Amino acid sequence: MNPKKNKQHHILNSSSGHMPAVRVWDVAERTQVAELHEHKYGVACVAFSPNSKYIISVGYQHDMIVNVWAWKKNVVIAANKVSSKVTAVSFSADSSYFVTAGNRHVKFWYLDHTKSSKVNATVPLLGRSGLLGELRNNFFSDVACGKGRKANSTFCITSSGLLCEFNDKRMLDKWVELRTSMATSLSVSEDLIFCGCADGTVRAFSPTDLHFIYTLPHPHSLGTDIATHALPSHLFAYKENVRYPDTVAVSYDPTNRWLSCVYNDHSLYVWDVRDLRKVGKVYSALYHSACVWSVEVYPETRDGEQPRFSPGSFLSCSSDNTLRLWNTDAQNTTLSRNVISNDLQKVIYMDSNTSPLLDTDCTISSNSEKADPQTSDNRTGIRTMCVSPDGLHLASGDRNGTLRIHDLESMEEILDVQAHDSEILCLEYSKPETGLKLLATASRDRLIHVLDADREYGLLQTLDEHSSSITAVRFATNDGKVRMISCGADKSIYFRTAQKTEEGTAFTRTHHIVRKTTLYDMDIDPTRKYAVIGCQDRSIRIFNICNGKQKKVYKGSQGEDGTLIKVQTDPSGLYVATSCSDKNISIFDLYTGECVATMFGHSEIVTGMKFTNDCKHLISVSGDSCIFVWRLCPELTINMRQRLSDLKQNSKPVQKTPPNKQHTLGYKASQSNCLFLLQGSSEENHNTLNSHMKKVRKSVTSLHNFSCDSLILLMLFNIRSLSYQQSNSCEHEGSGPRPRRRWSRRMGSMDLKVKSMLDLRQLESFAMPLFPSKTQDVHKDLPPPRNQELGSTISLQTIAAWVNFI
């Protein structure tokens, strides 16, 4: 992360192994250079020696091993057992010893270079306990060896709030009170010691005599409205009776003289500490502090409508009991900038309780087991949400069954109702094409409520067919009818059709399908013909919405373990993204089942995914409290945009134009003709195409009534003819059937591969003329054009579509 430029770069771990490992990466090349396996249960802490020859790794409490690695050779040169829980390790400045700290534990470990140089085998590591005196029962939360003039000293902090100094004889020389309820972290330079403490406090001390120097500014207070923080003075203003997040980690950069601080609400600050009397903020960011359950992309505004948020805005909800509005393109946001975060625009807090905003696991210990977000007893937090198609309202459901509606213009809550007895698992607004404004809420209590969003969310109908938790509910318009489809843990799928009644709209069951596996999530493709369902057996099942029949099933995960958690189709309906409980994400071709991309990086299950409206990115959220924005391959983006363009054209009424009476000699080829004539390889089709092409050639040579499609058809005909002749010759020679791949056709012994990898910016703006200007030499003998079609242009999008088709 470059705080000045607000740019992130990532190191991708290509290994999917589950064994604990110490991995060493080349930062510049972003490649792994070493992988060290010895620990069985987990690695609690690691440290480089200052001369970079060695790495120290300390295992979890069950592991109880301290290893010294000559990491370039991938060998352990010294090892020993440790009986206490270790939370921190630090190397001395001369690389001759290191110190571990933990529960009632400060120990000095010495490297005997004479033994390690002569013997290739692992030698016992020599350890001596620090002389703790009256502080022997303390929990030492961090340790750092001194530098410069204090290179022989070792500094520790206790969780109770003491800063301690050990001399070169391992004796506890002196200590000073930090005046805090808890201390967590330590960073030492030649002339400063920074101590991270509770309530957002960071104190600076002198290493020479432990003299107190300065207390750094606090970060934002818990529950603060970040939108009101527009000026730096807002951040530095002191407030009474507010609570701040605890500091859990500090790291000093002596080159820039920056201090980076992480707090237990998952916020990050970089402070400029060149002048401790005038500390400035270089960078800050505020993230979710607990499992993120859902993500919603803000819908595109229709023509003529004023956008409320910038393009690319999206929302997320979390167990930390907040809804957050993000925009990663901070330069183009219409909202006012705040001084806390570049990409976070707004935080909506559900109540005044700030406890859910804190990640207590950060401060208990560095290796404590995190609670599974799915089975946690903590009943607070927003479980699901949905944005209305007009972008006016945001519906959210929490783990207690409460439904809330927020007005996205004012960000005010306009409805708060106890809709269910258990957590709400799914919310869905009906789309504009249904002609209805409905909201469906589905819960673990096995009920679906249908609400009228046009009439203050009054209850229209309650459906109770499901016998277990309902995992997904969706609306669709099909064959002129409004449908509602739901699936759940009872392995059932219900297809319902809307009927007009005296009270309003009611849904009646038309199909009931049962499968042998739990159904975890569902999405509707943009054509509204198919329901795509992710299943416990890692399969994607596709059902016809009209008749309820299963059309296709294929594997929805690359791995052999786990279950499908989420499925999400892209805006064009070409691809479907899946998340598996093995923490990986895959993208499949919806129609062929071919895997076109895989992604991994989350450390917990992926709980939600959404494609952006511009088809350039996929956003994923996870139980690890992280939001990842993935950049999609340009090839996928081109395909999706072309399909979207086709869908929009098909939805428009076709305008019939009268034929040109002046020139009836020519023959105008259409795209539908091309598609019809190029299907199949029968002799009859080929002969039909031949007769059409005679007319096309005649129109081209006479330059009468000539169109762009004629040129395309001529090009396709030549390729089709060659393919037809080749396939016939292959049949006569007794060779096998010609392979039909997405990107290639076999022609004898050679492969013709055609790929479109066009620049997306060119697709949006560039169009090339069909013919060069008549002033060029190649056209000096041609007669002038006889109609306007000769000078028409053909866009690269059209060429890309035809090249893909070939």
What stretches of 186-331 show up as alpha helix (H) in DSSP? Answer: 232-236
Beta bridge partners of 140: 158
Cβ atoms of 484 and 478 within 8 Å: the answer is no
- Sequence-distant (≥ 6) Cβ neighbours of residue 432 within 8 angstroms: 389, 390
Beta bridge partners of 492: 514
- Sequence-distant (≥ 6) Cβ neighbours of residue 99 within 8 angstroms: 89, 90, 92, 106, 107, 108, 109, 130, 143, 145, 154, 166
pLDDT at 700: 45
pLDDT at 17: 65
pLDDT along the chain (806 residues), means of 10: 88 77 92 90 92 92 88 91 91 93 93 61 84 90 93 94 93 92 93 94 93 92 84 73 92 94 94 91 92 93 72 92 86 67 89 88 54 54 93 93 92 92 94 90 94 91 93 91 93 92 86 93 92 93 92 89 93 94 92 92 93 94 94 94 87 45 36 41 51 53 46 53 49 44 43 45 42 40 40 52 54
SS3 category, 43: strand
Cβ atoms of 703 and 711 within 8 Å: the answer is no
Nearest to 709 by CA among 668, 756, 665, 648: 668
Q: Does the CA dihedral 305-309-312-316 come out positive or negative?
A: negative
Angstrom distance (rounded) from CA 444 to CA 440? 14
Cβ atoms of 566 and 534 within 8 Å: the answer is yes
Angstrom distance (rounded) from CA 205 to CA 187? 11
pLDDT at 385: 95
pLDDT at 503: 75
Residue 467, phi-psi category: left (phi > 0), alpha (psi -120 to 50), beta (remainder): alpha
Angstrom distance (rounded) from CA 704 to CA 701? 8
pLDDT at 803: 54
Angstrom distance (rounded) from CA 501 to CA 463? 16
**Which CATH number does 515-650 carry?**
2.130.10.10
Determine whether 53 is exposed, middle or buried from the number of CB atoms within 10 Å of its CB (0-12, 13-18, 19+).
middle
Q: Give tens-digit pLDDT for 384-407.
A: 999 999 889 999 999 999 999 999
State CA 393 to chain mean position distance: 24
pLDDT at 334: 58
Angle at 632 between CA 12 and CA 628, to 5 degrees: 55
pLDDT at 796: 56
CA 191 to each of CA 148, 205, 468, 743: distance values in angstroms, whole numbers, following the listed order = 9, 9, 63, 63
pLDDT at 326: 92
pLDDT at 691: 59
**Where are the chain's structural domains?**
515-650, 671-805
Considering the entire predicted model, what is its pTM?
Answer: 0.78
Nearest to 397 by CA among 410, 408, 384, 387: 384
Angstrom distance (rounded) from CA 58 to CA 63? 8
Query: For residue 156, what are its two tokens?
Result: 């520790």
Return the amino acid letter for 422.
S
Backbone angles phi, psi at 320, to 5 degrees: -80, 10
Cβ atoms of 207 and 193 within 8 Å: the answer is yes
DSSP label at residue 191: S
CA 97 to each of CA 112, 136, 147, 149, 681: distance values in angstroms, whole numbers, following the listed order = 9, 22, 14, 17, 77
Give one DSSP letter per residue of 384-419, joined into a string: EEEE-TTSSEEEEEETTSEEEEEETTTTEEEEEEE-
DSSP label at residue 572: T
pLDDT at 45: 93
